[in-house]
Amino acid sequence: MRLPVPADEGCAPAPEQPDDCVKGADPPLQRDENLTSTAKPRRRRAKVVHPSSDATEMLSDNPPAGDAPKSRRKRRTAAQLAEESVPDPPSTPLATEVLDNLARYPHCILLTRVGQFYESYFDQAAEVSRLLNIKLTGKSWGGQRILMCGFPLVQLNKYLKILVQQHNRFVAMCEEFPRSPSLGAKGGFDRRVVRIVTPGTLIDEPFLNPYENNYLLSIAAPEPASTTASHEANTSLSSCTRSSAVGLAWIDVSTGEFYTKRTTVGALQDELVRISPREVILDERLSERDPIRRAVSEENYFVSPFAVAERLGEASTTAAAEDLSPDDITSQIEASKEILPTSLSVEESGAVELLTGFMHANLLEHMPSLSAPSRESFTCRMQIDSHTVKALEIREGMREGGATGSLLSVIKRTVTSSGTRLLARWLCSPSTSVTEINARQSLVAFFHARPFLRQDLVQSFRDAEDTTRIVQKFLLGRGTFQDLTAICTTIDSWSSIKERILMERRMDERGGEAVNAAEWKSIGALMERLNDLDSLAGRIRTALVAREATISESEPMSDELPSPVTPMPVRDPRNPLGITEWMIKPEFSEHLTYLHKTLQTLLAEKDLLERRLQGTYDAPSLTLRASPGQGMHVHVSRKRESAQLREDKDFIGLAESGSTCTFFHKGWSQLGTQISDTALAITLAEREAYEILRNEVITHAAELRNNARIIDELDVTLAFANLAIEMRFVRPQVTEGTSYHVVNGRHPTVELGLLTSGRGFTPNTVTFTPDSHLHVITGPNMAGKSTLLRQTALIAILAQTGSFVPADSAEIGIIDRVFSRVGAKDDLFRDRSTFMVEMLEASDILRRATPKSLVIMDEVGRGTTVDDGLAIAFATVHHLLSVNGCKAMFATHFYELAEMLGYDPAQHKGHGPFSKIAFFCTGVDEVEDGYFTYSYRVNPGVNKDSHGLKVAQLAGMPDSAVEVARSALAWLKTRSAERASHEDGLRILGQALASHK
């Protein structure tokens, strides 16, 4: 591939490279000859000094002197060696800009736009070539050979995805801007870095997942007690403990959603899993051993160390139109504090400053104006710890990976992408406000009772675009004409939604019965908050030319506009006349109307001139054309018709091939230039019209975002209604109390999996009361204990999200936290065995659970000796009961635990200090010929038989091994008499331990 050099560069073009150039291979390169010029070999030059690496050794024209025969070596003076060893770097304008940007952004991959290509140079070209698997070549700059690679402009998004999302690289985008002749420039281009693309600062890239938020998160540690510690001394910014307060600030740059929260180091990992940031910003002064760094590294998040003052100083040198000093940019950040609520803590303010500083340093000319962040309160949302989010598969399935098999994928009935993002946020942070939950449930009930309304609204939702991200694109100085059309279409869909709901109310009123005010309260409140933006849609509709957009992913958008910092549009060399499908109606302004009339007059003159020339020279095949190589020319497709043109002095021959000939004609050249200039003027006028419309959208940004949030909530609650119809969910009663009573509850994910295979789910009833808030569950493997635990937690999460729940009826008191210890596995990378992982999770639960929490624990104490495991299981249950006082379900195979807890077979409860413990079990149903089935029903009692041999048979264990296991089990059961006395001892031991302080 030969990459072009712009007209303002005076360097020689790069020679064509042989086919065996390195392609996608790791350096070092194999042959120097691939990078040498075709000119006569010269003496060896030293490698380019900046930037330096081993790869630059390829730049020499001849092999190193050490490779030559000894007889051909010549002694050189020290002066000659010094003169040859340090050559000056290339001094062309483009080379100077590239070298300056490489020095200014050493942490980034630099992509420099040159015409219709993005290019990489020097040592970085070898790395880019390897990462993108593209051809590595070379070019001559100032008499020196340098490495380079590149790719067409239309493939930018493809390669950005590889660099940013797959390899987590920072990419500095250096764009070119034509110099305006009106400013006295002689042509050519200016180049500057306008943005640094990072994993957390994606704006509108096509590879941005529309159904997930792309959060950029900053974590601010508390400042040290002494401010005299210097960065040079490598002292840590903080000496945090688990109880130390830290500030969080996170934003989705693509939507503008901005949040803050104050939390603790101990809860940091839970917040990370809940927020699921794409990139985490930490103060670079934090040491590697700092608890904050360790918490972030637990989940392998992409971390960007950042120093506000230093990076802002670097960023200031690349400001666009004017040079901003570090003080200027710092003042911008200080000014941004005006958007902050006065109630923000010191830690939150520090996180906001770190976040906005990072955004200023990387978004540069695309830095948006930020709205006030929403502050998340610790008490208004259910806290779900990191292990529970994974174990319950709320957002991602454990087996398939991604959303497949997760709760989100099973209950998702949303239509819009923004509604899906809201649903994911609700599931990971359910509400603890009864008022808010009831309002959501009222919306679900409203839609649940109106099937025709649901159908009509779903169709209207399909017409709505992702308004939040579109508005943010405009605020960031980006966007296209198609985005304006999308805004217009979305506003129309909002109006139809509002009108359809109002029509539903009129139909209720005509029914002859009084309108149920409570039923309409929630939906009415939302409709009152929905802004009327029909005037904005009308303004856009009257301005834009209506046309169907059919854009191929492999081709650039024909109407995609350059960044607003571009002073004027550029002529497309592939379309010299500039005639295209116009986007703005001529009636938009008097100036546009005049330009279009002028263009139509000129095009009519072109047709007239073409017909006149055809008749005058008897050449029906004569056409007036324009091309990048020949400019305005006359084209004749039949050679015999060109004879008269050759004899006429008004025609100058340009080219001839086969039967075609092309000529220069002064009259057409002048007329064609007028057409081209007029078309360019229309393009410029359309650009101005676009800016007017874009500014109108920005003016209404707050109203657009408000409407988008309302529609998202309608989308989610309507999806809950459709889900309830399909899966037979019921409305739960959520209270401020501590009760939990679910009749015939079901696991939503497991139930759907069984239904797809034609089987039914066996429901179970779970009841927690103040007198029985801890359940110990025993029973066979594969009999549904773990499923029961998980469904109990999922039903609580769904209820406080505002959804209906899979049960016959449900009454649930507000739960502040959900914890789980199920499904652990080892973590060999961090030197943690399965048992160690389980103990870490269990210890975290025992430290943090409150009386309003829900805890599910499965087989705590496994993975060690029976005695050790039983002791740990007993201690865990004892702590949950006497210290935490929470609602808990504890599944175990240690049936001896029941004896230690004073199990009473008559009441199926514990005795004495364990009287608030209830015992339940699952079992198997034996059938003839040795076959059995699992009942999956949970009944009061204790099951002392785990039926492990039956599971071994189902798994296909060899019959001989099973027989040996049966013999061993029979021998163990002969010790039942000894075990009876042992159980009495366990009961006494449990009572003694319970009374021990």
Least confident of 18-22, 111-115, 157-161, 511-515: 18-22
Residue 548 — very low, low, confident or very high, per pLDDT cuts 50/70/90?
A: low
User: How far is 712 from 705, CA to CA, in rounded Å?
Assistant: 10
Average pLDDT of span 192-208:
91
For position 87, what pLDDT does the model report? 54
Q: Which two tokens stand for residue 916?
A: 């608030």
Least confident of 185-189, 486-490, 833-837: 185-189
Other CB atoms within a 10 A radius of the CB of residue 912 amount to 13
For 556, how many CA atoms within 13 A lie in the half-sphere containing its CB? Answer: 13
For position 342, what pLDDT does the model report? 53
To which residue do tokens 């949030």 refer? 709
For position 194, what pLDDT does the model report? 93
For position 341, what pLDDT does the model report? 53
Distance of alpha carbon 503 from the chain centroid? 38
Residue 929 — very low, low, confident or very high, per pLDDT cuts 50/70/90?
A: low
Q: Which two tokens stand for residue 739?
A: 């009760």
Residue 396 — very low, low, confident or very high, per pLDDT cuts 50/70/90?
A: confident
Mean pLDDT of all residues belonging to the chain: 80
For position 221, what pLDDT does the model report? 81
Least confident of 56-70, 264-278, 851-865: 56-70
CATH class, range 412-539+700-726: mainly alpha
Average pLDDT of span 623-642:
86
578: left (phi over 0), alpha (psi -120 to 50) or beta: left
DSSP string, 783-810: SSHHHHHHHHHHHHHHHHHT--BSSSEE
| Of 611, 803, 600, nearest in space to 682 by CA | 600
Mean pLDDT: which of 172-181, 726-735, 857-866 is highest?
A: 726-735
Residue 34 — very low, low, confident or very high, per pLDDT cuts 50/70/90?
A: very low
Would the pLDDT of 513 be above 90? no
Would the pLDDT of 602 be above 90? yes
Q: Kindly report, residue by residue over 445-454, the tens digit of the pLDDT.
A: 999 999 999 9
Contact criterion met (CB below 8 Å) for 407 and 749: yes
Q: Kindly report, residue by residue over 859-914, the tens digit of the pLDDT.
A: 887 877 788 888 888 999 999 999 999 999 999 988 888 888 888 888 888 888 89
For position 193, what pLDDT does the model report? 94
Would the pLDDT of 319 be above 70? no
State the Cα angle at 63 between 58 and 67, rounded to 5°.
130
Residue type at 266 in one-letter notation: G
For 331, how many CA atoms within 13 A lie in the half-sphere containing its CB? Answer: 5
Q: Which two tokens stand for residue 257?
A: 């959603």
For position 427, what pLDDT does the model report? 95
For position 12, what pLDDT does the model report? 36
Q: Is the dihedral of CA 259, 264, 266, 267 positive or negative?
A: negative
User: How far is 868 from 823, CA to CA, in rounded Å?
Assistant: 20
Residue 190 — very low, low, confident or very high, per pLDDT cuts 50/70/90?
A: confident
Is the model more confident about 105 or about 508?
105
Contact criterion met (CB below 8 Å) for 247 and 345: yes
SS3 741: strand
SS3 labels along 946-964:
CCHHHHHHHCCCCHHHHHH
Q: Which two tokens stand for residue 464?
A: 């709505």
Residue 141 — very low, low, confident or very high, per pLDDT cuts 50/70/90?
A: confident
User: How far is 276 from 257, CA to CA, in rounded Å?
Assistant: 14
CATH architecture of 733-947: 3-Layer(aba) Sandwich (3.40)
Least confident of 141-155, 612-626, 866-880, 983-997: 983-997
Least confident of 555-559, 646-650, 688-692: 555-559
Those residues whose C-beta lies under 8 Å from the C-beta of residue 332, and which sit 6 or more positions away, are 360
| Of 229, 203, 225, nearest in space to 214 by CA | 203
Q: Kindly report, residue by residue over 955-971, the tens digit of the pLDDT.
A: 778 888 878 877 877 77
CATH architecture of 32-197: 3-Layer(aba) Sandwich (3.40)
Those residues whose C-beta lies under 8 Å from the C-beta of residue 715, and which sit 6 or more positions away, are 414, 415, 416, 418, 419, 422, 461
**Rg (alpha carbons) of the chain, rounded to whole number:** 36
For position 559, what pLDDT does the model report? 38
User: How far is 881 from 869, CA to CA, in rounded Å?
Assistant: 18
User: How far is 38 from 926, CA to CA, in rounded Å?
Assistant: 87
Query: 51 preceded by cis ω (within 30°)?
Result: yes
Distance of alpha carbon 199 from the chain centroid? 8
Distance of alpha carbon 456 from the chain centroid? 31
For position 971, what pLDDT does the model report? 74
Beta strand 189-197 with 171-178: parallel, antiparallel or unpaired? antiparallel
**b/e for 98-108, b at 16 or more Cβ within 10 A?**
bbebbeebeeb
Query: 556 preceded by cis ω (within 30°)?
Result: no
User: How far is 382 from 853, CA to CA, in rounded Å?
Assistant: 9
32-197 against 586-698: fold identical:
no
Q: Kindly report, residue by residue over 407-426, the tens digit of the pLDDT.
A: 999 999 999 999 999 999 99
Q: Kindly report, residue by residue over 82-130, the tens digit of the pLDDT.
A: 444 445 667 788 888 999 999 999 999 999 999 899 999 999 999 999 9
For position 763, what pLDDT does the model report? 94
For position 784, what pLDDT does the model report? 85
Other CB atoms within a 10 A radius of the CB of residue 603 amount to 16
Contact criterion met (CB below 8 Å) for 851 and 884: yes
Would the pLDDT of 459 be above 60? yes
Contact criterion met (CB below 8 Å) for 272 and 210: no
For position 93, what pLDDT does the model report? 84
Q: Is the dihedral of CA 446, 452, 455, 456 positive or negative?
A: negative
Sequence ranges of the domains in the chain: 32-197, 215-378, 412-539+700-726, 586-698, 733-947
Would the pLDDT of 43 be above 80? no
| Of 417, 347, 346, 338, nearest in space to 373 by CA | 338
Residue 622 — very low, low, confident or very high, per pLDDT cuts 50/70/90?
A: very high
Other CB atoms within a 10 A radius of the CB of residue 7 amount to 10
For position 727, what pLDDT does the model report? 94
CATH of region 215-378: 3.30.420.110
SS3 117: strand
Q: How far is CA 444 from CA 497, 498, 730, in A?
A: 16, 17, 10
Q: Is the dihedral of CA 31, 32, 36, 39 positive or negative?
A: negative
Mean pLDDT: which of 32-41, 50-59, 280-289, 440-449 is highest?
A: 440-449
For position 234, what pLDDT does the model report? 46
For position 557, what pLDDT does the model report? 38
User: How far is 198 from 251, CA to CA, in rounded Å?
Assistant: 14
Residue 489 — very low, low, confident or very high, per pLDDT cuts 50/70/90?
A: very high
Is the model more confident about 222 or about 822?
822
SS3 labels along 218-259:
EEECCCCCCCCCCCCCCCCCCCCCCCCEEEEEEEECCCCEEE
* 193 bridge partner residues: 174
Is the model more confident about 713 or about 84?
713
Is the model more confident about 740 or about 238?
740
Residue 836 — very low, low, confident or very high, per pLDDT cuts 50/70/90?
A: confident
- For the chain, give the longest Cα–Cα distance: 125
Would the pLDDT of 525 be above 60? yes
Residue type at 361 in one-letter notation: A
The pTM score is 0.81
User: How far is 957 from 964, CA to CA, in rounded Å?
Assistant: 11
For position 400, what pLDDT does the model report? 64
Would the pLDDT of 682 be above 80? yes
Q: Which two tokens stand for residue 393?
A: 């598969």
For position 948, what pLDDT does the model report? 75
586-698: CATH topology: MutS, DNA mismatch repair protein; Chain A, domain 3 (1.10.1420)
SS3 labels along 618-669:
CCCCCEEEEECCCEEEEEECCHHHHHHHHHCCCEEEEEEECCEEEEEEHHHH
Helices (H), 643-784: 643-647, 666-699, 701-727, 748-756
For position 534, what pLDDT does the model report? 94
Task: Indicate the helix (H) or strand (E) that contains 341.
Answer: none
* High-pLDDT (> 70) share of the chain, %: 77
For position 46, what pLDDT does the model report? 35
DSSP string, 894-919: -THHHHHTT-BTTTTB--GGGTTEEE
